[in-house]
Chain A
Amino acid sequence: MRASTALRTEGVVKHYGGVHALDGCSLTAGRGQITGLIGPNGSGKTTLFNVITGYARPDAGEVYLGDTRITGAAPDRVFEFGVGRTFQLTRIFPTLTVLENMLVPSRNGGTRRAMEQLEFMGIAAQHAEPAGTLSYGQRKLLELACVLVAGPAVILLDEPAGGVNPTLAGQIAGRIRELNRQGTAFLIVEHNMEFVMGLCDSVTVLDAGQVVASGPPAAVRNDPRVLDAYLGVAVDE
């Protein structure tokens, strides 16, 4: 069982004052799989990302990457363990050029790979421009490209299709699939259900800081607990 998981959290608890952002959250992202993480606003998805990647310390619980315990490791260490992420509110380095942005995570002489990645995202023409001049959608692509070029074993994406046009969202999904075929595991937070259901091997549903359902997209879609979480009413079978 252990060998088949890329990333695992066990009973993660995170409080902000009196708010239980995460309340015993146990989740598994399968090795070589694309796992979707869905749930209503405030259900703890981004907090879970922050706990996994070291931006927030859990009050209780553990995070494992494969068999390695990475609970509480700082973000730079987590990256070195092989976990990359993007942010819900897109974060780039605005005064660095687009190409320089790509070179921040690369280890040695990654200019060629960086340009290829930019080429794929369709922003190679702007490689010498300050990244701050890019449009919102282009920033989103740059942030994603920046993580992808580093080649981590597990990639956490916080709303990769948010604010991106459908054609581009399709291209991003294609890129994720391609990297997944090469062995990269993904954990994706996304509100675009079409995107999630079409892309993910399995979907985990979070509500009030706890996992309420997990399984193949088709099964989760019809799970009464999921409908309950999203619609806020009990649905009788």
Chain B
Amino acid sequence: MTTAGRTLTAVKLAGLVLAAAAAIAFPWVFSNPVDTNYGVYALIFVTVASAWNVFSGFSGYISLGHAVFFGSGAYTLGIVARDWHVTGNGVFALLPLCAVTGAVIAVPFGLVSLRVRRHTFIVITIAVFFIFQLMAYNFSFTGGSIGVSAPFLAWSPSTYNDPFYYTALGCAVGMIALAWAIRRSRFGLRLRAIRDDEDRARGLGVHPMRVKLAAFTLSGAVTGVAGGVWFFYLTQVQPPSGFDPLFDLSVVLMAFLGGLGSIAGPVLGALLIEPGQLYLTARVTNGYLSEILLGSLFLVVVLFMPRGIVPTSADWLRKARS
């Protein structure tokens, strides 16, 4: 490795350690629940954006149906806690079940939707999304339009957010590490080959269905867990909040803004957009303002920075150096 390359790696490593330290220290420095609230939501969406990216960013198949996994994770946690009478900290132990639900849904969902290419795939994911929202409204075990509530936690309000913050942080770090490992693996290479030219990849022995389905399932499982954390933190889920059509638009925007297909991109995008959206919703009485801004931002990103902040900045850096 060149000296410049080694310096760059050292800088990256130092940055990672610093970011990790900042993330761990955040609830101590900003102990106000209003602030930690931003942290919890931001980390949930870091997890989701990164999970979405491992499938959609790597393979080029843009999913607008990840709310299916998110909502199903939320409902799984609520329904199981309710029916098995699980309360208190024990509910956290149910989170792996949310991953199972995400994965179990992803397999048939993927087997159907991944038979078609890009644009048709997007349309199918939207259709499946609405099927799930309708099911949540109409089944009795999902509580219809009233939804499901989480068990009450008798914790002190001043530190109530902290266990959720660290749970979400654990999910986010785990997902980023997983994304990094996949990016460097043969599996990741095959996903990216499919993104570039699926037919050519087939001719070189890549089984596209297997590879795409594996990524879709993994992505769905992690998104399910994030949905579970989100539900337990919010303490309730209804069909329009669990299966929210704006959910996928936000996640897609996070990934596009930060940089589709890169590891850091979706993380950065989530850290910018989710707190920004929450802030606007809390501070501005007109509830639609944040959505209008979100849409405008999407246009700006797609028009002027189509590859996202991280890849574009990397290009600038490379140009500046040479």
Contacts and interface: CB of A to CB of B under 8 A. Distances in A.
B154 interface: no
Nearest to A147: B204
Interface stretch (A64-72, A87-95, A113-121): A87-95
Interface residues of A, number: 25
Interface in A77-108: 78-80, 84-85, 87, 91-96, 100, 103-105
Interface of A: 53-55, 74-76, 78-80, 84-85, 87, 91-96, 100, 103-105, 146-147, 150
A104 B202 contact: no
B205 A91 contact: no
Nearest to A132: B196
Chain B at the A interface: SS class: helix
Contact of A76 (B192, B196, B202): B202
Contact of B205 (A79, A87, A94, A100): A79
A66 B261 CA distance: 42
A62 B195 CA distance: 32
Contact of A93 (B193, B207, B261): B193
B126 to A, nearest CB: 26
B200 interface: yes
B207 A91 contact: no
Contacts of A103: 186, 189
A124 B203 CA distance: 23
Given A93-B192, A96-B192, A96-B193, A104 B199 contact: no
Nearest to A100: B189
Contacts of B200: 87, 91-93
21 contacts: A74-B202, A75-B199, A76-B206, A78-B203, A79-B203, A85-B203, A91-B199, A91-B200, A92-B197, A93-B192, A93-B196, A93-B201, A94-B196, A95-B192, A95-B261, A96-B192, A96-B193, A104-B206, A105-B205, A146-B204, A150-B205
Contacts of A53: 203
Contacts of B196: 92-96
Contacts of A93: 192-193, 196-197, 200-201
